């Protein structure tokens, strides 16, 4: 559902996603995976920036590439992913069940914070997205998540619509 909500948020912002560039900075987790799936299916260019050992495997990159007309590339450099992007996403660096790894993960991901300086390398009309909860000062600085480019509230609102649509589909509601 998160991927659907993210797609809805971006479609509401830009219209067709075909040819748009979507960047994800951080850990290749379930959020990054579902975002990659919808981006490739909808014809977007999906760029991942993950620390070594925390990105998608070659098998996973090939699987994503096969899902549609979009493309996917992966780097360890956030600037490579974000440069010219229309949407910049991130997620928490310490997911549920990873609390014991917090100190280690904060050290590994420290250079992957989405800052105003990093956002300035994206398209001039780029939006920022995060599925929440966010930890300001870690994966995103407050000026970005609380700024004009942030669409985190819209994402949350669109999760409701995505869930309702999925339930209607699964229940056969017409």
CA nearest 11: which of 161, 164, 144, 119? Answer: 161
Flag whether pLDDT at 172 surpasses 90: yes
Taken in order 165, 6, 39, 3, the sign of the CA dihedral is: negative
- 131-153 pLDDT, tens per residue? 999 999 999 999 999 999 999 99
Closest CA to 71 of 125, 21, 127: 21
Bridge pairing between strands 87-90 and 127-130 = parallel
Q: Is the pTM of this model over 0.85?
A: yes
Q: Report, in angstroms and rounded to the nearest whole number, the Rg of the chain calculated over CA atoms.
A: 15
Q: pLDDT (tens digit, 9 = 90+) per residue, 100-116?
A: 999 999 999 999 999 99
Can you list the domains of the chain with their CATH numbers? 2-170 (3.40.50.1370)
pLDDT score of 168: 94
């Amino acid at each position: 559902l998160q991927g659907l909500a993210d797609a809805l948020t971006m479609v509401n912002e830009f219209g067709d996603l075909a040819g748009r560039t979507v960047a994800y900075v951080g850990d290749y987790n379930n959020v990054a995976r579902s975002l990659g799936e919808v981006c490739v299916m909808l014809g977007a260019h999906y760029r991942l920036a993950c620390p070594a050992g925390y990105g998608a495997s070659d098998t996973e990159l090939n699987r994503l590439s096969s899902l549609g007309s979009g493309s996917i590339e992966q780097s360890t450099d956030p600037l490579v992913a974000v440069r010219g992007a229309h949407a910049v996403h991130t997620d928490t660096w310490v997911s549920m069940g990873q609390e014991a790894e917090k100190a280690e993960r904060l050290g590994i991901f420290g250079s992957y914070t989405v800052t105003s300086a990093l956002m300035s390398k994206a398209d001039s009309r780029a939006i920022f997205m995060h599925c929440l909860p966010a930890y300001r000062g870690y994966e995103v600085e407050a000026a970005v998540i609380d700024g004009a480019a942030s669409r985190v509230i819209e994402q949350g609102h669109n999760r409701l619509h995505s869930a309702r649509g999925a339930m209607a589909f699964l229940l056969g509601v017409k």
